[in-house]
Chains A and B, each alone.
Chain A
Amino acid sequence: MNQRLRTAWNWVDDRIGFSDSVMPLIAHTVPRNARWWYVLGSATLTAFIVQVCTGICLAMAYVPGGDEAYESLKYITDEAQFGSLLRGMHAYGASAMVTLVVIHLVQVYLHATYKYPRELNWMTGVVLFFVVLGMAFTGQLLRWDANGVWSVFVATEMAARTPYIGPVISHFLLGGETVGGSTLTRFFAYHVFILPGMIFAGVGLHLFLLFRHGVSEMPNVDQPVDPATYKQEYEERLKKTGVPFWPNAMWRDVVFSTLVVGVIVACAAIFGPPALDASPDPANIHANPMPDWYFWWYFAVLSLLPPSYELWFILGVPILGFLVLFCLPLLSNKGHRAPSKRPWAVGIVIASFASFIVLTIYGYREPWSPDFGVPELPQSVIGAKEGPVFEGGKLVHTKGCLYCHTINGYGGHRGPDLSNIGKQLTREDLIIRINNGGYNMPSFAGSVNSQELSKIVDFLMTRVEP
């Protein structure tokens, strides 16, 4: 039996040429010192495979239609066997892919692997990175709940800021002048055909370039890259100390990928897929649109910016960000690779990471948003049972003050905390401020009459911290 199998395999191998053409690729010599640093690319690819497999399954039940998409997702989540698990895997797989592609990019940047001769490895990688972000965004949108619909609005509004051709891009994205039947079908085609096609092609090219130029060594302070001699020196070193990729180096990739898939499946099983928001009715104004976590930082940037810089960020972050990353190896493709010799690179990574964390936290908390669900102040906080102070304490809720201001722990965070305002401003100042408004504060002269104003001020003057 064994003999027969071997004969059969030899026949196939002879015709297909696995040992002749594919084996040399899999077993190509790689530097010995690559170790755990280099498992990130293959793990990203593994996460992509998870996305393809789960995505195909989801596409078997998902209906990309204005009305039906939401219903079919409810069916997948609540009724279909394994539907919830598959949706969960697809969602956590997306998070894994975005996370891994970013860490992979950071690692390659820190080790300056993009230098000669691997410039195109980096450039194809940057294109893939942006395509992956496109997949993440369109995928969130295909959830086609209220959040999905409003994501389309936000995307079209951002595109509309492009000088001259903005509205054209917006109408292209919408598939018309408003969100409607042609909107979701188009995003479905991007997410399921166009962007994955680009990923397949990009990964193919990326891997081809990997084989063509070989796996880079760990950066060495004594070996700065000189294009004139690099290839020869690299080959020589590899001959001396290299090991075959399969299986000497690849086992680490497999171990890490197992971990990645394990975490994806475990998260899907334990936490389940992201909950569906309200139905995709553009007339439902009670939506609270919010991107998935990987875009919270950008969501925060768009709120914190002064309006005059806004255009530069809305268009600049995607376009300039892409161009800077894409052209990086054209700007510097030789010299030191070691992080210890590239303090700017290390600084940029640390600054970017810190900004990402801080902005993500801000994006999650949304302190700039009015807090629509704020409760009324309890009597214990108001400190009176009747009279103008009591009525003023009620009015700060009904007149919306609490949407933006905190009083003794109750209220939103957009404006200053008013818990000690009785000490900070005089009665006259308060009246002027409320009537006229101020930086980012509306004027209330039109919506608060003089009696109401007097009660609100009476109440606010009692806000004195001990």
Chain B
Amino acid sequence: MKKNVTNQPCCQDVSDRRSFHARLSMILSAIIGALIVLPGVGFVLAPIFKKTNQKWRMLGKVDDFKEGATVLVNFEDPSSEVWAGVTAKTAAWLRRVDESEFIAFSINCRHLGCPVRWVEGPELFMCPCHGGVYYKDGTVAGGPPPEPLDRYQVRVRDGAVEIHTAAVPLTTTLTFDES
């Protein structure tokens, strides 16, 4: 059909116009698509690039924590989303090593992120999901975890223990980040 049309000298114009219209429609459709989709893509991907301003949170007085004891502490993520409610909460296992030294372990197992529990008697952290076990210093004692428990930064200021909020520790394999 098209071939017949183009063979006739009279219709060369028509054919040109047709292919121009087809191309114009396709280009404009692509532009419409881009205009609709791109802001959405930006909106959805934005959280990946957003760096959270991590904050110091107070956990309690130094004297509230017994030397040698490991206790669960709660604090809030520095989220700006007020509707996060209870999900903004995070916990850490805080260990008072001696007079002035504190260690705060992430509760996330390094295997697949489940919440590890401190078991007082044997002084071990144990994970309920796949049986990961850690010593009191966070090193792996058994099970599948590939790395020791992650630690938060802790400091003592004016007699109060403070913890520095952080992103969920992710166990990665190959990364761009060499540090």
Instruction: Note whether A and B form a binding pair.
Output: yes
| A167–B117 CB distance below 8 A | no
A414 contacts across to B, CB distance below 8 A: 131
Contact A178 B174 (CB under 8 A): no
CB-defined contacts of A302 to chain B, threshold 8 Å: 111-112, 130, 144
Which of B45, B74, B89, B175 has the most C-beta atoms of chain A within 10 angstroms of its own C-beta?
B89
Q: Verify if A171 is at the interface (C-beta below 8 Å from B).
A: yes
Q: How far is the CA of A401 from the CA of B126 in the complex (A)?
A: 12
Stretch at the interface among B5-13, B57-65, B133-141, B156-164: B133-141
Known pairs A178-B167, A281-B89; A372 contacts B117 (CB<8 A): yes
Q: Is B91 an interface residue (CB 8 A)?
A: yes
Decide yes or no whether A311 CB sits under 8 A from chain B: yes
| B101 in contact (CB, < 8 A) | no
Are B144 and A171 in contact, CB atoms less than 8 angstroms apart? Answer: no
Assuming the A-B contacts A302-B112, A442-B124, are A178 and B131 also in contact, with contact meaning beta carbons closer than 8 angstroms in the complex? no
Most chain A CB within a 10 A radius of its CB, from B112, B116, B170: B112
Tell me whether A168 is interfacial, beta carbon within 8 Å: yes
Does A279 contact B86, Cβ atoms closer than 8 Å?
A: yes
A245 at the binding interface (Cβ < 8 Å):
no
Measured between beta carbons, the chain A residues less than 8 angstroms from B113 are 150, 153-154, 156-157
User: Which stretch from B17-25, B27-35, B75-83 is at the chain A interface?
Assistant: B75-83
Query: How many Å from the CB of A205 to the closest CB on chain B?
Result: 20
List A322-347 residues whose CB lies under 8 Å from chain B. none
Given A180-B88, A303-B130, A447-B124: A157 and B112 interface contact (C-beta under 8 Å) = yes
**Chain B residue with minimal CB distance to A438?**
B142
Most chain B CB neighbours (cut-off 10 Å) among A66, A150, A178: A178
Are B172 and A154 touching (Cβ within 8 A)? no
Given A150-B114, A179-B168, A285-B115: A370 touches B133 (CB 8 Å cut-off): yes
Whether B142 and A440, one on each chain, are in contact in the complex, defined by CB atoms closer than 8 angstroms, is yes
Contact with B along A288-323 (1 / 0, CB 8 A): 111000000001001101010011000000000000
A400 touches B121 (CB 8 A): yes
**In the complex with contacts A285-B72, A289-B114, A156-B123 CB distance below 8 A:** no
List, in ascending order, chain A residues with CB within 8 A of B143's CB. Answer: 368, 440
Q: How far is the CA of A302 from the CA of B131 in the complex (A)?
A: 11
A-side contacts of B170, CB under 8 Å? 156-157, 160, 166-167, 170
Residues in chain B near residue A397, CB distance under 8 A: 121
CB distance from A101 to the nearest CB of B (A): 26
Contacting residue for A399 out of B121, B131, B173, B174, CB 8 A = B121
Complex CA distance for A158 and B113, rounded to whole angstroms: 9
A285's partner among B48, B83, B91, B129 (CB-CB below 8 A) is B91
Does A287 contact B115, Cβ atoms closer than 8 Å?
yes
List B contacts of A163 (CB < 8 A): 173-175
A280 touches B167 (CB 8 A): no
The residue in A68, A156, A160, A440 that gathers the most chain B C-beta atoms within 10 A of its C-beta is A160
Closest to B174 in A: A163
B47 at the interface (CB under 8 A from A): yes
In the complex, the answer to whether B48 meets A161 with C-beta atoms within 8 Å is no
> How far apart sit A370 and B133, CA to CA, in the bound complex (Å)?
9
Q: Is A466 at the interface (CB under 8 A from chain B)?
A: no
6 cross-chain pairs, A with B, having the tightest CB-CB distances, nearest first:
A67-B85, A181-B81, A442-B141, A181-B84, A177-B167, A400-B122
Chain B residues with a Cβ under 8 A of chain A: 44-45, 47-48, 50, 52, 72, 74, 77, 79, 81-91, 107-108, 111-117, 119, 121-124, 126-131, 133, 135-136, 141-144, 146, 166-168, 170-176
Known: A401-B122, A447-B124. 19 other contacts (CB 8 A): A67-B87, A68-B83, A154-B113, A154-B114, A156-B170, A163-B174, A176-B47, A177-B168, A279-B86, A280-B87, A287-B114, A302-B112, A369-B129, A372-B126, A397-B121, A403-B126, A442-B133, A446-B135, A447-B122
Residue contacts A-B, CB under 8 angstroms, 19 given? A66-B87, A67-B86, A150-B113, A156-B170, A157-B112, A178-B77, A179-B87, A180-B81, A181-B79, A279-B86, A282-B87, A285-B115, A299-B129, A369-B127, A369-B128, A372-B126, A397-B121, A400-B126, A440-B142
